[in-house]
């Protein structure tokens, strides 16, 4: 039986998640849209619930999108990206080194030690490691890979302990370079994780897109007209609306935009390469 209320899944990254989606839910309901949400402690569960048809849409990070899209395709179904934040377009990851290091290009990192975050992190592991491959260097063969953090508790990209440890490893001289998201590289320099003057970007990865609201039709899905109305309302949200601004600010969005899927290609390729690596190469260092 089809649902008469849209049910959305999102990551339970902390108390802010409740504030954000309670606020958006109230606004949607005032606009006449029946909308509810569920928070999940891991993306693994959220992805599974979407594939099973237990929810209509899911707010996915890039890894969640790739996993959903690929699994749906194997089942003869098609996942659809509906909307994205303005902040989700054209982001990048970096390979960062100490400011006084001798390295001038990725090729110079042959024989070096590279620190990354969790093995299943798109931003701090998959894309930087793939950038190294594109430069002709593979982990275990051409350089040592230090993986900080564990993926044993599931896919939890909002937990940045591994990425923080990777950045500190370079700052403290335990590694030569670190794979980081560009946003976290800038944030770590501002919050004191490392001194901004002591680090520099050696290389940026190709630009890619980040989160999207993913829809996957199922026998239980809310009617398509409700999904379309929800999409319209997201796109109508204004950061200048005092009712919405606090929640949009928490969600790091100033404008919602129609989603695109053309800029996930580099993640697709990095995903394939990471999956091809021997398991011991991605074993956590700590």
Q: Where are the domains of the chain?
A: 6-88+209-254, 93-206+278-282
> Which residues, in sequence order, are CB contacts of 222 under 8 Å at separation 6+?
2, 3, 4, 5, 6, 7, 34, 56
- Give the up-direction half-sphere exposure of residue 188: CA atoms within 13 A in the CB hemisphere: 30
Q: Is 93-206+278-282 the same fold as 6-88+209-254? A: yes
Pick the CATH number of 93-206+278-282 from 3.40.640.10, 3.90.1170.30, 3.90.950.20, 3.40.190.10: 3.40.190.10
- The CA distance from 56 to 37, in Å, is 10
Residue with tokens 């190469």: 281
Confirm if 25 and 66 have CB atoms less than 8 A apart: no
Q: Average pLDDT of 65-77?
A: 96
- The CA distance from 6 to 105, in Å, is 49
- Sign, CA dihedral 51-56-58-63, equals positive
Reduce the DSSP state of residue 8 to 3 states and report it.
Answer: strand
- The CA distance from 283 to 280, in Å, is 5
| Number of helices and strands in the chain (H, E) | 9, 12
**What is the CATH superfamily name and number for domain 6-88+209-254?**
Periplasmic binding protein-like II (3.40.190.10)
Segment 249-274, tens digit of pLDDT: 999 999 999 999 999 999 999 999 99
pTM above 0.75, yes or no: yes
Segment 42-66, tens digit of pLDDT: 889 999 999 999 999 999 999 999 9
> Which residues, in sequence order, are CB contacts of 266 under 8 Å at separation 6+?
127, 130, 205, 206, 208
How far is residue 205 from each of residues 4, 33, 171, measured CA to CA in Å? 43, 40, 21
User: Which band of pLDDT confidence, cut at 50, 70 and 90, is reported for residue 186?
Assistant: very high
Does position 151 have pLDDT exceeding 60, yes or no?
no
């Amino acid at each position: 039986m089809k649902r008469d209320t849209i049910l959305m899944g999102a990551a339970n990254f902390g108390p802010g998640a409740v504030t954000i989606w309670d606020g958006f839910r109230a606004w949607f309901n005032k606009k006449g849209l029946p909308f509810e949400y569920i928070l999940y402690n891991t993306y693994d569960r959220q992805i599974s619930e979407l594939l099973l048809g237990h929810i209509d849409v899911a707010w996915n990070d890039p890894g969640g999108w790739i996993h959903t899209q690929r699994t749906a395709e194997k089942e003869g179904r098609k996942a659809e990206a509906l909307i994205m934040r303005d902040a989700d377009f054209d982001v990048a990851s970096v390979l960062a080194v100490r400011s006084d290091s001798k390295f001038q290009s990725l090729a110079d990192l042959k024989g070096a030690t590279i620190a990354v975050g969790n093995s299943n992190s798109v931003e701090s592991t998959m894309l930087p490691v793939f950038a190294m491959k594109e430069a002709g260097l593979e982990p275990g063969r051409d350089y040592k890979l230090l993986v900080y953090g564990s993926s044993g508790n599931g896919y939890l990209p909002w937990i940045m302990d591994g990425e923080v440890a990777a950045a500190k490893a370079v700052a403290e001289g335990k590694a030569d370079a670190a794979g980081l998201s560009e946003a976290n590289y800038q944030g770590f320099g501002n919050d004191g994780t490392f001194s901004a003057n002591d680090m520099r970007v050696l290389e940026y990865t190709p630009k890619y897109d980040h989160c999207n609201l993913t829809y996957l039709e199922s026998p239980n899905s809310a009617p398509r007209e409700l999904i379309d109305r929800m999409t319209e309302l997201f796109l109508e949200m204004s950061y200048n609306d005092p009712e919405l601004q606090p929640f949009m600010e928490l969600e790091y969005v100033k404008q919602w935009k129609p989603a695109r899927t053309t800029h996930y290609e580099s993640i697709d390729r990095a995903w394939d390469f990471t999956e091809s690596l021997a398991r011991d190469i991605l074993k956590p260092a700590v």
